Amino acid sequence: RTAFTASIFAVRRFSSSSFFCARASSARRLPAELVSLIFTFFPTDNVLNTSPAGPWNYSAVCKHWRSIALSLPSLWKDIYIDFGGKSHLEDVGVQGSMARLEAQMEHSAQAPLYIEFSSFSEGDADTLEREYDILDILQRHCSRWETLRMVGPKVLLDFLDIREKLPLLRAVHLRIFSEGFDEEDVGTLRIFEMCPKLRTATVNPGRLGTPSSVFLPSDQLVRYRASNLMARHLGTLRLASSLVDCVLNIHEDSEPLSPNPHRIQLPCLRRLSVSTDQILDHLDAPDLQELYCFDHSATLHSFLQRLHQLQKLVVTETPAAADIRHLLDAAPNVVDLGLYVPMHLAPEFFATFTPDSGPRIPSLDSLSVGFIPTLDFHHLPILPDQDLLMRTMESLWDGDYCRSFNFFCLRFSPSQALSNGWRH
């Protein structure tokens, strides 16, 4: 106990020493430019949090720091609002948060705004009213919105009066659902139809995203990611001639469409990800460099034969051994190949790359394969013939063909004899 008391006394004496004061004084004498850079890397937090966050933290340290923070509008431009788990807030707490948001808007001056807004209304009228109040503050500054990320029911978006009032908006990311989290179509949204600088749009991404009709300036888009009915996807793509990066999740309720002899032209498209290859029959992307596709059929093979610049191909479903050979024959220029292969097809898969078969993709440099368990998904499978895998890799390396291998979802244990051979 005596030693502990002595330690506390030493700490107190050091904190009041001239050495400590001199160090603190040196920190206060840092140039404003250097302090502002330090502030830039300080983590921000949620404006609805009960404790100060982001620029509020360091502006509360001292008068010098506060003056620097208030002189830098860019420190206040990021707005994070998350009602998740905050539905229990009392009116006083919400009012205080609103006042703080008003102050942050004032401190941000004319800086372009980055806004993240997550709703937690669940049809609760009281919480929804509070969210309307917050959105009302935000939409007064909509002319400065540069990036918007919003999660919530469509009624919140319908509340916004921002159509043709978004001159700076470059990116919008939406997760919209019907009131009460209904999985049906959320309806039509036109507030982002007239955004002269919009280049990136994400609407209900993921395989389980709810279909929606969000009108966008498609001819301006460079990046587009959405989950929707196939017909709606095609409607967006018909005007998206500048698209470079695209991720399309086709909703399971999509009706099959008859092939169109006049395919949609996407001359700038370099990266494409689709949940089903059915949509590929309707697209023409001659300079595509990366393709990610969930399923595997003759439609995919036909599309690959029209791609002469393709560098990377990832296919996550391979139902038959014949499909593997057809796939490799259809993509002779691929450098990076990723496949998911059912475990029972593993021997035939590796036989495809043996010297007797010859290299199916002469330009192949990297091969990544995930082996799918046939029955038990709770345990990693063991290849039935792991020595075949090793011999295949050796033959490819000896032929200066395929430098990188990545096998996952797999336990690997080659025979002792083969392992000893590799050591030598």
pLDDT digits (tens, 9 = 90+) for 207-254: 656 777 889 999 999 999 998 888 889 999 999 999 999 999 988 767
| Most confident listed range (56-60, 106-110, 360-364, 418-422) | 106-110
Q: Looking at the predicted structure, is the pLDDT value of residue 50 above 50?
A: no
**Which whole number is the average pLDDT over 53-75?**
80
Rounded distance, CA 340 to CA 278, Å? 19
Confidence of residue 391 (pLDDT cuts 50, 70, 90): confident
Look up residue 144 and give its amino acid: R
Weakest mean pLDDT among 210-219, 245-254, 291-300, 319-328: 319-328
Rounded distance, CA 314 to CA 294, Å? 8
Alpha-carbon radius of gyration of the chain: 29
Confidence of residue 356 (pLDDT cuts 50, 70, 90): low
Which pLDDT score, from 0 to 100, does residue 170 have? 97
Which pLDDT score, from 0 to 100, does residue 91 have? 41
Mean pLDDT of the chain: 78
CA distances from 276 to 114, 185, 296 (A): 34, 20, 8
Q: Tokens standing for 415?
A: 């025979």
CA distances from 404 to 349, 366, 383 (A): 17, 5, 19
Q: Looking at the predicted structure, is the pLDDT value of residue 301 above 80?
A: yes
pTM of the model: 0.80
Q: Tokens standing for 131?
A: 């969210």
Q: Looking at the predicted structure, is the pLDDT value of residue 27 above 90?
A: no
Crossing angle (nearest 10°) for helices 91-107 and 125-139: 10
Q: Looking at the predicted structure, is the pLDDT value of residue 358 above 50?
A: yes
Rounded distance, CA 287 to CA 268, Å? 7
Q: Looking at the predicted structure, is the pLDDT value of residue 92 above 60?
A: no
Confidence of residue 297 (pLDDT cuts 50, 70, 90): confident
Q: Measured in whole angstroms, how far is the alpha carbon of residue 83 from the centre of its chain?
A: 22
Q: Looking at the predicted structure, is the pLDDT value of residue 287 above 90?
A: yes
Q: Measured in whole angstroms, how far is the alpha carbon of residue 184 from the centre of its chain?
A: 24
Rounded distance, CA 418 to CA 386, Å? 10
Q: Looking at the predicted structure, is the pLDDT value of residue 88 above 50?
A: no
Secondary structure element (H or E) that encloses residue 104, with its range: helix 91-107
Could you report how far apart the first and last alpha carbons of the chain are, in Å? 63
Confidence of residue 172 (pLDDT cuts 50, 70, 90): very high
Rounded distance, CA 323 to CA 335, Å? 19
Q: Looking at the predicted structure, is the pLDDT value of residue 3 above 90?
A: no
CB 227 within 8 A of CB 206: yes
Which pLDDT score, from 0 to 100, does residue 361 have? 74
Rounded distance, CA 118 to CA 1, Å? 51
| Most confident listed range (53-67, 85-99, 141-155) | 141-155
**Which whole number is the average pLDDT over 346-352?**
77
From its phi and psi, is residue 80 left (phi > 0), alpha (psi between -120 and 50) or beta? beta
Q: Looking at the predicted structure, is the pLDDT value of residue 299 above 80?
A: yes
Burial class (CB in 10 A: 0-12, 13-18, 19+), 193: middle
Which pLDDT score, from 0 to 100, does residue 424 have? 42
Q: Greater confidence, 282 or 187?
A: 282
**Phi, psi at 59, each rounded to 5°:** -75, -15
**Phi, psi at 112, each rounded to 5°:** -60, 140
